[in-house]
Amino acid sequence: MRPPSGRERKKRVKKAGKIKESSTRWISRHINDPYVHKATQQGYRSRAAFKLLEMDEKLHLIKPGMRVVDLGAAPGGWSQILASRKMSHIAAIDILPMDPIEGVDFIEMDFTDNEAPDRLKAIMQGEADLVLSDLAPNTTGHKRTDHLRTMAIVELAWDFAKDVLKQNGAFVAKVFQGGAENELLTELKKNFKSVKHIKPPASRAESSEVYLVAQGYKQK
């Protein structure tokens, strides 16, 4: 998949009232983002849909008939992609509300809640072929704190994934600042045939986000 062209004439954002300079920059970047325009044109709920499409194009993550879990699903870009690919079942969760998508069982709940994993397992209808996590904590601006918070969520997602993945299943999780820590990578390499980091073109160049992709789960 080729990244959308950024040749469209850029729109300028006029500052109004007491809008912060950082907010003005974000709005300007958003309205001039070619992936935002392409998402609107193609009916996707967010530009994040293209991140999954690009990862799938390279790594062949999604196949018809799969049972998939979408962690951090709202507003639903990834679930839309999955639903269009004839999955066997899709279970999704987010702390934010999400408009219904046909074929997706959605739970509005904080994944860090102790009861969330069991709630998801109850609607999964069996083991998962693929666990996707686009979860991310609220950032503080302090790099070390944000990194620790991110890794805590990634580890929660992995703890869930290893309980529900079937043989040869895959796990994808968003990480930041250089990727997953060595301890987690070591554990994943013991449990999967292939573990790598990937930054899809749809991920903004200035963002430190990358995705950890583990394929070929070796079920014990």
CA–CA separation, 24 vs 10, rounded Å?
A: 14
Distance CA 184, CA 154 (A): 9
Run of H or E residues at 117: helix 116-124
Give the catalytic positions in this structure: 174
Helix (H) or strand (E) holding 104: strand 104-108
Tell me the C-alpha distance between 197 and 152, whole Å.
18
Query: What angle, rounded to 10 degrees, do the helices at 34-42 and 48-59 form?
Result: 90
